[in-house]
Structure 1
Amino acid sequence: MTLSWKLVIDSMNAPVLEDFWAAALGYEVEDPSELIGQLLAAGRIGEEAIAEHQGRKTFRGYAAVRHPDDPFDEAGGIGRGRRLLFQDVPEVKAGKNRLHIDIHGEPGGLGQLVARLVDLGATRVREEDRGPAGHWWVMRDPEGNEFCAV
């Protein structure tokens, strides 16, 4: 039996990472506004549990993006396929990621991909050439999480 999963990324400002990764991957920003409205109306959450970002209600400290071709719950806006969930945590990033995302560009388009990611807020760390294994850039997202542009 296969299982569903999502990649959860600790953050200091979930909406900032949501905006970056949605643009970097071409993913959809999840919009839980309708679900939040239902939960507020039913008294299941209070106003302190919500925030606003880009003109929509969100759960305070959480944000997510999903692949545009994957199924999602229309009532809640929550993806049921490939998705990244960002959750705010009190501690700062302390070391190298043990898990990271590789973004694959078009063949011969690494320079354009890296330039686009830098324009979105990423920073270059180092360029690597592993011979037959290929050539890529190690980069950091706006909160310092490492990823590779391949």
Structure 2
Amino acid sequence: MPVPFKICVDCEDPHRLAAFWAEAMDYKVEDHSGLIAGLLAQGIITEDLLTEVDGHHAWKTLAAVRNPDDPFDQASDAGRGMRILFQVVPEKKTVKNRVHLDLHVGRDKIESEVERLEALGGTRLSDRFDENGATWIVMGDPEGNEFCVHS
């Protein structure tokens, strides 16, 4: 049986990265405020674990994005399909990622997509690569996590 998974990204500002990646991938930022309200009402959590994002409660140390077309949990808004979780860690990023995302946009859209992602806060980290029939440009998200805009 296949194992469900999510990709977890260590970071300093999970809400900034969730907003960037939701725009970059046309994903949806998960809204955990319904779950949070229930946990607050039951006294299971306290306000010190929370922040406010776009006028509603959110977890202070994590945020997630999901494919808007995949199934999700109605109570928590957590995706049950392709999903990325951003979680605060105390240490800063210091070396190249061992795992990264490739955004497949098509050969003719690579440059325009790089420009769009730069406008969202991404940074172009390389020239264009053309190898073995593939084309890509390496970029960094707002915290420097590498990813590729790929053919």
Alignment-derived partner of residue 10 in structure 1:
10
- Aligned to 2:132, the other structure's residue is in SS state helix
Q: Does 1:40 align with 2:40?
A: yes
* Post-superposition CA distance 1:112-150 (Å, at most 9, x none): 111111111000010242333322110000000000001
* Post-superposition CA distance 1:68-100 (Å, at most 9, x none): 110000111111110000000110001000000
Percent identity for Structure 1 against Structure 2? 46
Contact 2:11 2:88 in 1 (8 A): yes
TM-score (norm 1): 0.97
CA distance in 2, matches of 1:60, 1:115: 30
Alignment-derived partner of residue 109 in structure 2:
109
- Unaligned 5+ segments in structure 1 are none
Counterpart residue identity of residue 109, structure 1: K
Computed over aligned residues only, the root mean square deviation of the Cα atoms, in angstroms, reads 1.0
- Aligned to 1:86, the other structure's residue is in SS state strand
CA distance in 1, matches of 2:108, 2:128: 15
Alignment-derived partner of residue 63 in structure 2:
63
- Aligned to 2:98, the other structure's residue is in SS state coil
Deviation at 1:60, TM superposition (A): 1.1
Q: Does 1:99 align with 2:99?
A: yes
List 4+ stretches of structure 1 deviating above 3 A.
none
Deviation at 1:41, TM superposition (A): 0.2
Deviation at 1:107, TM superposition (A): 4.1
Q: Does 1:137 align with 2:130?
A: no
CA distance in 2, matches of 1:64, 1:113: 22
Contact 2:107 2:135 in 1 (8 A): no
Q: Size of the alignment, in residue pairs?
A: 150
Counterpart residue identity of residue 27, structure 2: Y
CA distance in 2, matches of 1:38, 1:129: 49
